[in-house]
Structure 1
Amino acid sequence: MKAIAISGSAKKGGNTAFMLKTVLEELERENIQTELIELAEEEIKSCTACYKCFKNKNKRCVIEDDNLNNYFKRLTEADIIILGSPVYLVDITPKLIAFMERCGMVSMANGYLLKRKIGAGVVVRYRRAGAIHGLDSINHFFLVEQMTVIGSNYLNIGVGRGSEAISFTESEIDEEGLKTMLDLAHNISWLAKKLISQ
């Protein structure tokens, strides 16, 4: 059983990665293999709507000069996919949107390669607006891909009180957000084990 988490943050090692690592570390305690990919230093190009993936059906996007195809292959090999993003202005980052669009198109073009995988979104907000909308954007991707969406004790949202460029300091830690991430991990693990036992 493997879980892969993708951080769409523009800053590496920031609050979004911190929240995703919280989930992944708890999954590791449940003997689930994990991997975190941070897109911060990556250029992920947007989908061009060329529909060549539907023509080629080779499980690849025709755009070959970024790492999307490598990451998509890793998504197909995982059982659990966790997508995380900060909300800078009302929605998730453009980089994560581009990632979802291209992975989603290639998946659908090849018979829904992400179908029935477990999906969970994690959103970190800095101001009041956008967190729910951002989480909805991620969840809609999972639903369109026919994945099983997992929730927590509340919405899968954390509050970033410090800079995204640095991890939380002790005084800035969002205790409620951390509890939400831990419960999310427990729910993911519970469902994953139920599915294995079938």
Structure 2
Amino acid sequence: MKGLRKRMVQGLRESGISDERVLEAMAEVPRHFFVEGAFSAQAYADKALPIAKGQTISQPYTVAYQTQLLRLKRGMKVLEIGTGSGYQAAVLCQMGMKLHTVEMIPRLHSDAKEKLSDLGFRPKMLLGDGSQGWAAHEPYERILVTAACPEIPLALKQQLAVGGRMVLPVGNLDLQFMTIVQRISRHEYEIGRLHEFQFVPLRGKSGFQ
């Protein structure tokens, strides 16, 4: 599998991913460990794959792209919304982040917790409404949302530290734009919109469902 991971990482590099820390982490984390058994042979193909409860594990390029946009430094306090399979969380842990991750679906939460633990990762994990963030541990230097948002959730903006950066897909159910939110001061934010993507919908009070 290491050979397949190496080939996957080379493909990411050729696709424009340039953050070596992201590439190194993805070269180490076993993506096949987070993929449903029937799809394990496709674990290192650059495509999204189905997991339990109608959700997906994002394609490697999407994981790398979002992670690169965060502009991470080792030891940063990061909030991930949508633990899903746990793969993105594993990449962030591998990069040395102080990770807090929230998942709304009990099966995904428990499966991801077990898999991350088996790999030696111990992020703080919450079963709950990710669209409302995790206020008990705010503020966060970085926030990553791995599901489509109809708009930027107010709770997440409020939990972002001044000087912090949030990356999330915003749009309708069919198409979203990768969006960057930077908190300039207590009341000021800068918002930028980048490329088009398609994610599963964010659930919860500030989501689609």
Interval of TM-score (by shorter of Structure 1 and Structure 2): 0.3 to 0.5
Greater helix percent: which structure? 1
Report the TM-score, using the length of structure 2 for normalisation.
0.34
Structure having the higher strand fraction is 2
TM-score by length of structure 1 reads: 0.35
